[in-house]
Each structure stands twice: as C-alpha cells, then as structure tokens.
Chain A
Amino acid sequence: MTHESENRRISKSGFTLHASRFTFAPYWSRKRYLVLLLGAVALVMIVALGAAWGSLAIPPLAVARMLLGQLPWVAVSRDWPATWETVLLQVRLPRVVLAGLVGAALALAGAVYQGLFRNPLADPYLIGVSSGAGLGATLAIYFTVQVTWAGLGAISIFAFFGALLTTAIIYALARVGGKTPITTLLLAGVALGAFLSSITTYLMLSGKDAFHTFHVVSWMMGSLALANWQQVRVLMPYLLVGLAIILVNARPLNVLQLDEEQAQQLGLNVERIKLVLVVAASLITASAVAVSGIIGFVGLIVPHAVRLVWGPDHRFLLPMTTLVGAVFLILADGVARTLLSPSELPVGVITAFCGAPFFLYLLRQKKQAIF
C-alpha cells in the first residue's frame, strides 16, 4: 500500500512553490525481500563455484554431480576418483563454507560497531578482540598447551576466551555510574589493546624457540588453510544466534544514529541496547577469530560498500552486509589459495589488496557523504 501526497504551495503571485511528489510505503517491500533473496542465491552459487575452483582441477560437471550426490534424495552414479571426492568434500567445501561464515561474521560485526560508535573507521577488532585473541593464541603457543575441546585446538580456545575476556574487561572499565559512554569505551579499548599487544610482542620475541614466533605471526595474519567441518559446526551456531540478536536490534540501531540523548528521549533503553549489541558482535567476532586468526579489512570495508549502494538503514544493511561479507571472503580466499599455487597467500593480503581500490572506486562513483 502506498500513499501519495503532493505539496504545492501557491504564493501570492500565483507561482507554485515547493512542489514535490513523495510516496511512502512500508519498509519491507517486495523489492527489498527480492534483493536479499537474490543475494542468498548468489551466495550459494559462489559457494559451489568456490568449491570447484582450486589447484587440483576438477571438471565443473563432476563438481556439480558430487555436490548433488550429497543431497539425500538424489541418486548419482559415482564414477569419479576418490581423491576428487576427498579434496572437494573434506578439504575445499569446508574451507569455502568456513570462509563464508567468517566473512559474514566479520562484516556483520563491523557494521554493528560502525553503527554503535557512529564512526566510519570502526571495525570488529575495535574493542580488544584482536589484542585479546592475539594474546590468548600467543600464550597457547608459548606454553605449548595441548588441550583440545569439541575438536578445536588449544590456540582456538585460548584465542576465543582471550577475546571475550578482553572485551568484558574493557566494557567494565568504561562503565561509569550505570552508563557506558561510547568514547570511553573506545579509549579503554585502545588503552587495553596496546597493553595486551605489548605483552604479546614480549612473549613472541622472548620465546626460546624461533618457531613459536613464526607460528604466532602467521596465526595473526589470518588464514583459512586448516579449515575442517568441525570448525564449521562450532562457528555456525554462534553466527546464527549473533545474527538473530543483532537483526532484532536493527531498527533501534537506526535510532541510535542520533546522539544517545535523543535516542533515550525517544524511549529506547540505550544502555541495554548497547550492551546487547556489543556482546553479540564480540561473540561472533571472537568465534570467527578463533578459527581463522585475525583477517582484517572485511569488517571495515564491506559495510561501507553496502551502505554506499543501498543506504544506511540497518534493517537492510545488516542482512545484506552478512551476505556480501560471506561472498567477499569466499572470493578472496579462492584467490589466496590459487594465485601462488601450490603455496598460499594469507587471505588478509588479498582482502586489503582488492578491498581498498574497490572502495575508492565506489566512493568516487557516488560522490556523497558516506556516513
């Protein structure tokens, strides 16, 4: 249902002033749903394409048949070599799916932080996740910790809890009299982040074994090389729960783009919304970092690109950012593992290299304020 309204004011001399024809309609129109649906379909296709792409050449038809053969109700004659099946289903497909999940998580968290901090430079690592995860991973490597849990190694577990603990400490530090001012949160994040980074660097450089340093550095650069289905199974629930919580708060996040006083005067419980969003975004970032290390640029650039094309309303921005982030990281990882075949580039190199010029191009196209 649309309503149309004309506003024509006739001045005393008979001229028409301020004529405008503005139509309004409910936010979730058929067109918006369609765009999201197309995005989801594109994501599925990119997953299949990403699985087909790799150093071992597998003909696309065989890929399609292998993937379809996984569906329970489809019968396909199995006439491909076993190595193809192992590579596709146990090595490549989990890696592509994990890239999608990590990209979605980082992009979504980046969009949430940009909205919360009302700052275009915000990324998912803003309040301590990267320094906390880095310290956790360094401790696990330095002390050669050998625990495993739910199929995840010590590094992942330590990184996850390091990230969450750091964010909790930063939030607690910034809380003054029942309120958590955003600027204080930012400053506390920077301060504690620097402190933890210094400890991490000390541990890295004072290690008895040079291999430790190399291991920490390569972990911090972020990589999806060791992806397996177990990691996908662990990451998926965090992402889904975080996504649900964040989407529920999408419209309040719009209102938070006014300053916090105005949002409060409009009836929002600003402190509770901030807490919920920080917790959800930190959870999905920490879980992504636990399985893949610290992949930069995705959380910073993807939300901006989506905002430039589709506008700043978070009700559409957040789901679309999730989809675009997944697609982006799948493609970037595809390039990272095939460009210097047989060796691999860290995926963070590709995200930065491809992301920056694309973003500049979008900026010049639109020529308007981006935030």
Chain B
Amino acid sequence: MRINFWLLARFLRRDDVSLSPNEWLLEAHEVSFAYNGRPVLKGVDLSVHPGQIVGIIGPNGAGKSTLIKILSRLLSPDKGCVSLGGRDLTRWGPTQLARHLAVVPQAAKLPETFTAWEVVLMGRTPYLGLLGNETTTDMAIAQRAMEETNTWHLASRLIGQLSGGERQRVVVARALAQEPRILLLDEPTLHLDINHQLEILSLVRRLVDEQGLAVLAIFHDLNLAAQFCHELVLLCQGRVFARGHPGEVITVTNIAAVYGANVAVLPHPHNGRPTVLPS
C-alpha cells in the first residue's frame, strides 16, 4: 500500500519530470482558439522535435502570435491540447515549464532603468528558489548567453539607452540564459540589421545542431524562414494551409493563394532553398 501511494504521489506531482532528451517533443493537437467569439485558430496541428527548427509563416492576423501564447501556456486553447515531453501542458508546474521552454516575445517590454545584465539575469529566475539569489554559476551562464548574442559589451548599459535591435538581442540572451530545451521565437529578427539577423539565426541554428534544441519561430521574412528552417508551416486565417520542407511550402501558388501577391520564387544559388522575389 505504501509503495502504491508513493507511485501515485509521483504520478500526481506536477513538477516531476524525468524524460530523456530524445523525448522532448512539443506537440499541439487540433488547437482552436477564439478571442471574444472571433475565431483565431482553427484545428491547428503542430509538432517540434529536438534538433529541428519549425518556422511559422503567414499573413498578419493569421493567429501566429496567439499560437505562441498557447504553446507557452499564457492562453489555454478552447479546443485541442498541447503537450510537452508527452505530458499535457496544463500538468506542468510554472517553474518546471520555464526551465524547459523559453519564449522571446515580439517587441518585449523591458524596464528602462535596469541594466541589460540585470535583465538577462532574470532569465535564471526558474532556477532560483524562493529566497535564492543568483550564484556565480547563474552569472556565468548569463554571461555566456550575452557573449553568444553579442550583447556582452552592453551589459552595464541601461535598457533605456539601447536601440530596438539591441533590446531584442538582450531578450534573446535572456531566453538563452533559461537554458531551455524548446525555444519559441515571435518574429526574432524584427528591428535587427541584416548582420544581426544572420547572427541570431546562425546562433539558433548552431544551438539546434549542437545541443538538440527544438525551436519554433514566427517569421515575417519568407526568405529568412526558408533559409533557416527545417520545416515550414504556412498559416492562413487560423488554419494550416501548407506544411513541409521550405521548398514545398513556399511556392508561387501558395503565396498567391495566402498572401494574394504575385511573386517569383527562385532557388537560392548556394543551397537551392526558395527565395521570394517580387515580380
């Protein structure tokens, strides 16, 4: 009886997670959501595997940001469910979830009077206890995150003194400081110069290849999405319009059907991935 009770307690404890890295899978199944009666997502299926970058593309209002909010448990879907590592998202404790899933929101609001360093250190919050303060290990991790995002030289500057692109990179550094297994990015390359865009995306690609990170990113730039993603999901009016390898999703007919724009799609001279050009 005692052993059964112990097993039951382990089963019911929300914070107990012990899965091998191969099983880290973020899955959305038939997710539907409506804002005040206006349907935004209708039956969206999605899965992100470790070592994979999934890109979400689609016109404005297609429900992309809402999808990220549902995947990070800020909103709960009206229908359908989301599971992480095989367990339903609602059964995860908030701290445990934050140790495994990090979100880089679009245009994140940051306090103007904190330094970039302090903001990146906030990424270590899920690892600090109730009365805990940051240890040297936490600081070393935060420093490495800032070095990788090329924001270390901004460490002692106030957020109010940083440009939009620098703030964006600080938020990415904070997400990396969380040491997540799954990274959700909402338009990570907005406000960034081309060199910083490529830097951030190359960094993410390297983390995915080397550490088996799973990444889901929303892109507004179709060419960047095609270059860096293993799989693309094209959303149109809350539904998945097309899914697959970038070459299969970004086609002239798909773009015309979803965006209503006439474009030319050419293979990239280096790797054959689709490149969208206005026609």
Contacts and interface: CB of A to CB of B under 8 A. Distances in A.
Interface of A: 1, 3, 5, 7, 18-20, 22, 24, 26-28, 118, 248, 251-252, 254-255, 257-259, 261-262, 264-269, 307, 311-313, 315, 368-371
Nearest to B96: A267
A369 B122 contact: no
Interface stretch (B78-86, B148-156, B190-198, B217-225): B148-156
Interface string B172-200: 00000010000000000000000000000
9 contacts: A5-B147, A7-B147, A24-B117, A24-B155, A28-B133, A254-B114, A254-B118, A265-B98, A369-B113
A248 B143 contact: no
B34 interface: no
Nearest to B144: A5
Interface in B110-126: 110-114, 117-119, 122-123, 125-126
B9 to A, nearest CB: 21
Contacts of A118: 111
A167 to B, nearest CB: 25
Which among A254, A264, A266, A313 has the highest number of chain B CB atoms within 10 Å?
A266
Given A3-B143, A7-B147, A251 B128 contact: yes
Contacts of A252: 125
A266 B179 CA distance: 11
B111 A258 contact: yes
Given A20-B152, A22-B155, A258-B108, A3 B95 contact: no
A229 B32 CA distance: 63
Contacts of A258: 108-111, 119, 122
Contact of B94 (A1, A269, A312, A370): A269
A94 to B, nearest CB: 34
Q: Which 8 A-B pairs have the closest CB atoms?
A: A267-B98, A267-B126, A18-B153, A257-B111, A267-B95, A20-B153, A266-B125, A22-B155
Contacts of B53: none
A18 B102 CA distance: 28
A27 B95 CA distance: 22
Contacts of A269: 94
Interface stretch (B19-27, B39-47, B134-142, B249-257): B134-142
A257 B158 CA distance: 14
A307 B102 CA distance: 30
Contact of B72 (A259, A265, A369): A265
B158 A369 contact: yes
A26 B139 CA distance: 8
Nearest to A5: B143
A257 B140 contact: no
Contact of A312 (B69, B113, B143): B113
B113 A311 contact: yes
Contacts of A264: 74, 94
Contacts of A28: 133
Nearest to A8: B153
B111 A312 contact: yes
Given A262-B105, A370-B113, A267 B97 contact: yes
A24 B139 contact: yes
A277 to B, nearest CB: 14
B267 interface: no
B122 A255 contact: yes
